[in-house]
Amino acid sequence: MAHITVDGRVLEVKEGALLIEELLAHNINIPHFCYHPALGKDGNCRMCMVEIEGQKRPQIACDTPIKEGMIIRTKGANIDRVKRSILELELINHPIDCPICDQAGECSLQNYYMDVGLYESRLSTPKTRGEKHVDLGANVVLDQERCVLCTRCVRFTKNITKTSELGVLSRADHSVITTFPGSKLSNPYAMNVVDLCPVGALTSKDFRFQKRVWFLNTKEAICNHCARGCSIFVDHHKEKYKREMIYRYRPRLNDKVNGYFICDAGRLSYHIENENQEFHALIRGKVSEYEYAEGKLLRLLKRHLGKTLFLLGSNLSLEEMVRVQKLAKLYEIMLNAYEPERFDVSFGDDFLKCNDRSANGRSFPLLGIDESKEGLEQALQMAELVVLIGRSDAKMIKEMGYAKNIAILCSQCEVSCKEVELVLPMASHTRREGSFINIDGYIQYSSCVIKSENAHKTLLAIVAQILGDTVTTCQAVWEAELFFYEVLKGISFASLKDTPKITL
């Protein structure tokens, strides 16, 4: 460790580390465009200039290693003048079109511009114009005039995805980011360049002109598109006279799981969440009152006592699985979780995407829940009622020869509802809390609970009503039941914020 002085404040930092890393770690605001923790230094924007005592001229913090006793100034007349001049160069050819820019409200250039106060241009010649609305491919749109040439996007495709679709074309103030001739931005992580872009040069075709960011409410969640379980932000908003809508997923930093990135498939999977609110409780295909449908489920369970099978979906949370297990013991219900479409060998890669498309399939063996096809076939022979929980693939069990009563508890129905006895909607992934175990054994808690417009109950609430207790929250399940499981010994609900890891 080393001791340095920054604006009169003594800090203990890592000797040899980059100065910008330690400044940001200690919440010292240092303007920067080209530096990014996942991409490292580049040194081309020059915005992170600081004064270092003993140096003849200002130095860039992103390429300055820390030494013992350094005295640094990030503020002052001299360094402020340097930063102002650099920012003015960035703004010379910028269109200053914040009122129509998707990045407005999240733009680093806009923030620095407002801090410095460069409200009038001193440019006496016309601005150099670039192309507008350039479709790079993979849902990414480029506005060349807004680009500050930080090259984050170029370095992402070169060093992270290793696909190298992007580069810098031409020289001087005619330099632009573009794809190589005849090629398109096409890798499965391409939309991360939108998050990396510090200005509004790269925008998402999916989110473009959909919603101003200052209207959005943000919650933390876990992506359920595959077993990686990437940490994400869910941005949502309810317009007057309209439904609550999710407008985008964004990656949330988690060094243990996904770092700064998510795949495009997971990013765009929010559309399913918006579609999931469009159906109601159904009894033999006819719309029913939600409460009556709940009562129908209880009557079915009592009528077929000892001859019922619960077929669980692999996207249920850990808490939901444990509560369903308790219900199964009380009503002498068989349990199985066979899911033939859970694995997709064409989806995974060596970065973040997994062939295991479940959000929580790793919990089944830990909880002792049978996942075998043989176990399902045997259970179907004895069952008079099959209740699909967290899934709706009734076609699969019918193809296995089952032709008796079927009930479905799900957030998305994929069957002709007249074919089943009951469909009871339940809150979807972003509308309920839950813990999920990812492919590497990390337990993550998703706290995202967006209000359901159709008042769909959570599975925990449905099970609690049948059991006649009040255990309806994840914390209550951890405190009341999960501590009994040996594999979860030593893990409390409060510790989930640290993303604990278990042995699979």
CATH of the domain at 178: 3.30.70.20
- Predicted pLDDT of residue 415: 63
User: What does the DSSP assignment read for 407-466?
Assistant: EEEESS--S-GGGSSEEEE---TTBS-EEEE-TTSBEEEE--BPPPTT-PPPHHHHHHHH
Here the CATH number for the domain that contains residue 450 is 3.40.50.740
Residues 60 and 112 in one domain: no
Residues 73 and 115 in one domain: no
Residues 299 and 445 in one domain: yes
- Predicted pLDDT of residue 503: 83
Q: How confident is the model at residue 180 (pLDDT cuts 50, 70, 90)?
A: confident
Residues 196 and 303 in one domain: no
Residues 418 and 346 in one domain: yes
Average pLDDT estimate for 336-350: 95
Span 82-98, pLDDT tens digits? 988 999 888 888 898 99
Residues 200 and 59 in one domain: no
- Is pLDDT of 360 > 80? yes
Residue 198 lies in a domain: yes
Residue 358 lies in a domain: yes
- Predicted pLDDT of residue 417: 66
Give me the number of domains the chain comprises.
Answer: 3
Residue 254 lies in a domain: no
Last residue of a domain, one of 91, 126, 151: 91
**Mean pLDDT, the chain, as a whole number?**
92
Last residue of a domain, one of 91, 115, 138: 91
Residue 241 lies in a domain: no
Residue 246 lies in a domain: no
Last residue of a domain, one of 149, 172, 204: 204
Residue 495 carries which side chain, given as an amino acid letter? S
Residue 212 lies in a domain: no
Half-sphere exposure of 173 (CA within 13 A, CB side): 11
The CA–CA distances, whole Å, from 58 to 40, 52, 63, 72 equal 20, 7, 12, 10
Residues 65 and 167 in one domain: no
Strand partners, 409: 389, 424
Q: How confident is the model at residue 416 (pLDDT cuts 50, 70, 90)?
A: low
Residues 10 and 105 in one domain: no
Residues 176 and 77 in one domain: no
Residue 289 lies in a domain: yes
- Rounded CA separation 218/234 (Å): 5
Closest to 234 measured CA to CA, from 8, 58, 429: 429
Residues 335 and 360 in one domain: yes
Residue 258 lies in a domain: no
Residues 87 and 103 in one domain: no
Pairing of strands 385-389, 405-410: parallel
Residues 332 and 471 in one domain: yes
Span 2-47, pLDDT tens digits? 999 999 999 999 999 999 999 999 999 899 999 999 999 899 999 9
Weakest-pLDDT range from 12-21, 51-60, 234-243, 406-415: 406-415
Are 136 and 179 within 8 A, CB to CB? yes
Here the CATH number for the domain that contains residue 12 is 3.10.20.740
- Predicted pLDDT of residue 478: 93
Q: How confident is the model at residue 105 (pLDDT cuts 50, 70, 90)?
A: very high
- Rounded CA separation 356/250 (Å): 22
Which structural domain range is residue 342 located in? 282-498
Q: What is the pTM of this model?
A: 0.92
